[in-house]
């Protein structure tokens, strides 16, 4: 649901100009230095980008899901590292508190996320629990008015910069599956927390991940999100439903950027005395990419509107995430092909994007996990 068309267009124009004038010119700098410049981070704070989805009463802009996916379309036109920095504050880093947190937790943390004063991070994945998240081993043992946390979380986005971690931990070891898991909001300066070395990834330079290690980490009972044990996995799944829609939308934006670059290259590049855009096999790759982007955009927008209307969009979110991220990979491959040998050279942005977008099909649930979710939901509808 778009609340005010004029206000949304003003926001999108601001972001579009910021992407075009500030972010795109510095993509190469970020990739080379593996760091987002401090002045860019400050501009993001001033534009309110760290609090796009946080309600207005907590200092954010409070955009709806439909508005959020439109913003993601625009942010996708530049390096994923920029979105990744603000992404956890707007998504998985704050959503658990926003969805299931107590009012005290919301008052304490959401305004600081919204301003960009602090960065939140989401700790679900473990060395032995990735796609099978319900098998996580991190423990939280009650000790009076405290919990003692022990375990290791892996591939945690923004962990090197985070002030808080949303940690999924098992409070009831007798329950082996999802029912024994609770969610905690743990401050990064809590004794017992250490960070692993920053992961050296295939792509997405400037976006940092690492292990988060908890050793006898003692947190107050007030850190239990919502104040209730045993619902942490349900909280995580609600967070991921929203995140999957966002990643689907972002994949559309990145695909649009790659196709625009490839189209411009095809019009300018000449072979056999004419632009390669005149060749029908090039045109086929351009057309297939355009059609798939359009299809993914329609899916994402439809699912976002359904979520804003209060529908359960578990299936639709997985469909959109699966199709859009796979589409993005196909578009990246075609765009490298259109560039020919130039597409394999780092002078052209497609070489970097080709590596960057490979991650989209892995995080927030792999393509194969989305297939299982979709099929299980279909079967459940029939069998009850």
Per cent of the chain over pLDDT 70 is 100
Q: Among 56, 55, 51, which Cα is nearest to 71's?
A: 51
Average pLDDT score over the chain = 94
Same-domain status, 196 and 298: no
What pLDDT was estimated at residue 186? 96
CATH code of the domain containing 370: 1.20.140.10
What pLDDT was estimated at residue 28? 94
What pLDDT was estimated at residue 252? 98
Are residues 262 and 335 in contact, defined by beta-carbon separation less than 8 angstroms? yes
Are residues 96 and 185 in contact, defined by beta-carbon separation less than 8 angstroms? yes
Q: Beta strand 209-220 with 193-195: parallel, antiparallel or unpaired? A: antiparallel
Residue 84 corresponds to which tokens in the numbers above? 């990744």
Over range 19-37, report the average pLDDT.
96
> Using H for helix, E for strand and C for coil, what is the string for 150-181?
EEEEEEEECHHHCCEEEEEEECCCCCCCHHHE
> Using H for helix, E for strand and C for coil, what is the string for 282-343?
HHHHHHHHHHHHHHHHHHHHHHHHHHHCCCCCHHHHHHHHHHHHHHHHHHHHHHHHHHHHHH
Same-domain status, 256 and 347: yes
Same-domain status, 265 and 218: no
- CA 128 to chain centroid, in Å, comes to 22
Same-domain status, 98 and 165: no
What pLDDT was estimated at residue 128? 87
Last residue of a domain, one of 115, 136, 162: 115
Q: Among 82, 86, 111, which Cα is nearest to 97's?
A: 111
Greatest CA separation found in the chain?
Answer: 80
Residue 242 corresponds to which tokens in the numbers above? 């929203």
What pLDDT was estimated at residue 204? 94
pLDDT tens per residue across span 298-327: 999 999 999 999 999 999 999 999 999 999
Same-domain status, 372 and 267: yes
What pLDDT was estimated at residue 196? 97
Last residue of a domain, one of 203, 230, 257: 230
Same-domain status, 315 and 287: yes
pLDDT tens per residue across span 227-282: 989 988 888 888 888 899 999 999 999 999 999 999 999 999 999 999 999 999 99
Residue 6 corresponds to which tokens in the numbers above? 């004029």
**Alpha-carbon distances, residue 1 vs 131, 242, 296 (angstroms):** 32, 15, 18
Query: Residues with catalytic annotation?
Result: 364
Same-domain status, 21 and 85: yes
Vertex 122: Cα angle to 118 and 189 (nearest 5): 50
pLDDT at 130 over 80: no
Domain with 10, as residue range(s), is 5-115
Same-domain status, 312 and 252: yes
CATH code of the domain containing 224: 2.40.110.10
Total number of domains in the chain: 3
pLDDT at 133 over 80: no
b/e sequence 293-332, b meaning 16+ C-beta within 10 Å: beebbebbbebbbbbbeeeebbbbbbbbbbbbbbbbbebb
Over range 163-167, report the average pLDDT.
95
Helices marked H in the chain — which ranges? 5-18, 27-33, 38-46, 65-75, 80-90, 95-100, 103-115, 232-268, 280-308, 314-339, 349-356, 367-383
Same-domain status, 151 and 283: no
How many of the other CB atoms lie within 10 Å of CB of 274? Answer: 9
Residue 349 corresponds to which tokens in the numbers above? 């942005």
Same-domain status, 248 and 376: yes
pTM, 2 dp: 0.93
Q: Rounded to an integer, what distance in angstroms lies between the CA atom of residue 80 and that of residue 43?
A: 17
Torsion (CA) 236, 66, 101, 61 in degrees, nearest 10: 140
Q: Rounded to an integer, what distance in angstroms lies between the CA atom of residue 338 and that of residue 216?
A: 54
Last residue of a domain, one of 183, 203, 230: 230
Residue 218 corresponds to which tokens in the numbers above? 């003692």
Confidence of residue 201 (pLDDT cuts 50, 70, 90): very high
pLDDT at 373 over 90: yes
Confidence of residue 92 (pLDDT cuts 50, 70, 90): confident
Q: Rounded to an integer, what distance in angstroms lies between the CA atom of residue 143 and that of residue 263?
A: 61
Same-domain status, 250 and 222: no
Same-domain status, 271 and 205: no
Q: Which of 3-7, 16-20, 73-77 has the lowest mean pLDDT?
A: 3-7
Sign of torsion over alpha carbons 280, 284, 290, 291:
positive
How many of the other CB atoms lie within 10 Å of CB of 14? Answer: 14
């Amino acid at each position: 649901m778009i609340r005010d068309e004029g206000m949304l267009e003003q926001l999108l124009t601001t972001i579009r100009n910021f992407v075009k004038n500030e972010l795109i010119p510095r993509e190469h700098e970020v990739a080379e230095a593996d760091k987002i410049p401090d002045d860019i981070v400050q501009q993001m704070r001033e534009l309110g980008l760290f609090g796009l989805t946080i309600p207005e009463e907590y200092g954010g802009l409070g955009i709806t899901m439909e508005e959020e996916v439109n913003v993601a379309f625009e942010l996708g036109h530049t390096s994923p590292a920029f979105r990744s920095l603000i992404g956890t504050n707007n998504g998985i880093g704050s959503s658990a508190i926003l969805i299931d947190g107590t009012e005290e937790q919301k008052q304490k943390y959401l305004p600081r996320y919204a301003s960009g004063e602090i960065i939140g991070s989401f700790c679900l994945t473990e060395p032995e629990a990735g796609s099978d998240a319900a098998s996580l081993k991190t423990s939280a043992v009650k000790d009076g008015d405290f919990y003692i946390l022990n375990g290791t979380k892996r591939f945690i986005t923004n962990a090197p910069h985070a002030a808080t971690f949303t940690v999924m931990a098992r409070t009831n070891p007798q329950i082996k599956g999802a029912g024994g898991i609770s969610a905690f909001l743990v401050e990064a300066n809590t004794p017992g927390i250490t960070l692993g070395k920053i992961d050296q990834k295939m792509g997405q330079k400037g976006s940092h991940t690492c292990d988060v290690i908890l050793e006898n980490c003692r947190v107050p009972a007030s850190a239990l999100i919502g104040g209730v044990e045993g619902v942490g996995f349900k909280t995580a799944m609600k967070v991921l439903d929203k995140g999957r829609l966002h990643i689907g939308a972002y994949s559309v934006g990145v695909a649009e950027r790659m196709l625009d670059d490839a189209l411009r290259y095809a019009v300018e590049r000449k072979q056999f005395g004419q632009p390669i855009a005149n060749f029908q096999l090039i045109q086929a790759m351009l057309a297939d990419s355009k059609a798939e982007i359009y299809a993914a955009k329609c899916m994402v927008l439809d699912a976002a509107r359904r979520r804003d209307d209060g529908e359960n969009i578990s299936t639709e979110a997985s469909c959109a995430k699966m199709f859009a991220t796979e589409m993005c990979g196909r578009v990246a491959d075609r765009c490298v092909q259109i560039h020919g040998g130039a597409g394999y050279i780092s002078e052209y942005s497609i070489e970097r994007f080709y590596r960057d977008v490979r991650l989209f099909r892995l995080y927030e649930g792999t393509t194969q996990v989305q297939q299982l979710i979709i099929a299980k939901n279909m079967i459940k509808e029939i069998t009850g």
